[in-house]
Amino acid sequence: MKPLGIFGGTFDPIHLGHLCVAWEASELLDADVLMMPSGVPPHRPPPIAGAPERLAMLQVALRGQSRLIPDGRELARSGPSYTVDTLVELRSEHGDRPLVLLLGADAFAGLPDWHGWRRLFDLAHVGVLSRPGEQTVLPDELAQANTGRWVDDPAALRTRVAGKLIALSVTPLEISATRIRELIATGREPRYQLPSGLFDRADLLAPYRR
Ligand code: ATP
């Protein structure tokens, strides 16, 4: 069965850096990928744009293709958005379909700070998105938890529903949502960093203008 990827983020706003790596991961895994904005991110200050705006921006960004699918479930939940809760929900919805949590190499290295992180491997595989040749130093407890999980071939993720780790070599772009927010706040128009459709929606970019 085709795996289902999950790519989460604040997406404040969604930009071409997010879309490029999510797309490449979906191609490498031959998977559909749920693009999931987080509601109340547990690890960072609250977003500038509201939940409906961030979801609407995602919907605009994802027009014209069907591999990357917007999923607003974490926005509807009250309290912090814990990935483990989302994966429990997805597991019950998708039965035997392999799930692949997609994480940047930095986020992966910080996994032991996440709520219920050890349970993640019972619920999903993890795809670590890295630049070609990038090596990340992992904390000891994570390196130990990873023993026996690494696979090289995406086909190996189809033989089980969860529990494997794969490194996915992608093309991160030097685009940052923080920088985009700064540019918009100072009256600039960060074209070619954001999906072009967003520039037809002044209402959605309004929260970033000062
Ligand atoms: P901010 O600048 O607001 O912190 P961000 O884009 O870094 O924004 P998120 O929206 O939470 O933060 O990012 C979601 C995921 O996308 C994270 O795993 C992050 O590492 C990854 N990501 C962000 N920017 C890029 C990029 N330019 N290329 C590849 N991955 C990215």
Residue 118 alpha carbon to ligand 1 centre in Å = 23
| Ligand 1 binding pocket mutation candidate from 10, 14, 15, 18 (most atoms within 8 A of CB) | 18
Report pLDDT for 30: 98
Report pLDDT for 131: 81
Total-model pTM = 0.95
| Measured distance CA(116)–CA(83) in Å, rounded | 9
Residue 9 alpha carbon to ligand 1 centre in Å = 7
Closest Cα to atom 27, ligand 1: which residue?
17
Report pLDDT for 97: 98
| Measured distance CA(126)–CA(128) in Å, rounded | 6
Report pLDDT for 98: 98
Pinpoint the alpha helices (H) of the chain. Answer: 16-29, 51-61, 73-76, 83-94, 105-109, 117-123, 140-145, 177-185, 202-205
| Ligand 1 binding pocket mutation candidate from 6, 7, 10 (most atoms within 8 A of CB) | 10
Give yes or no for residue 18 CB within 6 A of ligand 1. Answer: yes
Q: What is the dihedral of CA 33, 39, 45, 48, to 10 degrees?
A: 90
Report pLDDT for 119: 97
For residues 124 and 101, the answer to whether their CB atoms sit within 8 Å is yes
| Measured distance CA(186)–CA(158) in Å, rounded | 47
Report pLDDT for 136: 84
Report pLDDT for 81: 80
Going residue by residue through the chain (210 aa), what tens digit of pLDDT does each one get?
A: 899 999 999 999 999 999 999 999 999 999 999 999 998 766 778 899 999 999 999 999 999 999 999 999 999 988 888 999 999 999 999 999 999 999 999 999 999 999 999 999 999 999 999 987 788 899 999 999 999 999 999 999 999 999 999 999 999 899 999 999 999 999 999 999 999 999 999 999 999 997
Q: Which amino acid is at 151?
A: V
Give yes or no for residue 181 CB within 6 A of ligand 1. Answer: no
Q: Which amino acid is at 193?
A: Q
Identify the DSSP state of 135: -
Report pLDDT for 42: 67
| Measured distance CA(24)–CA(20) in Å, rounded | 6
For residues 173 and 146, the answer to whether their CB atoms sit within 8 Å is no
Give yes or no for residue 177 CB within 6 A of ligand 1. Answer: yes
